[in-house]
Amino acid sequence: MFNGRLLNYRKASSVDGWIEAIENLSKLNAKNFLGGHGKEYDKDSYKPTLEYLKIMKEDVSKAYENEIESADVTQYVKTKKFNYLNHFKQLNYSNIQNYYYQLEWGE
């Protein structure tokens, strides 16, 4: 879990794997989630990460399908609402680019 901070989506990451894993956690009906990062531990602390991943996946996929160049793709991804998360400025661009390149290279 990445609570209070943006996750680092790497070239070897799987957006579908992340989403599936977090959705499975949500089904546990736990009172708390003790994450490896951040100080939020309540039962809903996973929600920003899940929403971020779903938005990134959908918007990057649409931009890729519409043949938007990788240099311009961040303009089409509506993740700015997560700018309150720690490390957003450092990671959002590379997260989007890494997922775009996965689509481009069929990974």
Cβ distance 43 to 31 under 8 Å? Answer: yes
Structure tokens given for 77: 């991804």
3-state helix, strand and coil shares in percent for the chain, rounded to the nearest 5: 55, 5, 40
Residue 34 is predicted with a pLDDT of 67
Spatial CA neighbour of 6 closest among 82, 71, 60: 82
Residue 46 is predicted with a pLDDT of 87
Reported as a single tens digit per residue, the pLDDT across 28-82 is 888 777 666 666 777 788 899 999 999 999 999 999 999 999 999 999 999 999 9
Confidence of residue 88 (pLDDT cuts 50, 70, 90): very high
Confidence of residue 19 (pLDDT cuts 50, 70, 90): very high
Structure tokens given for 54: 């779903």
Residue 32 is predicted with a pLDDT of 75
Residue 15 has pLDDT above 90, yes or no: yes
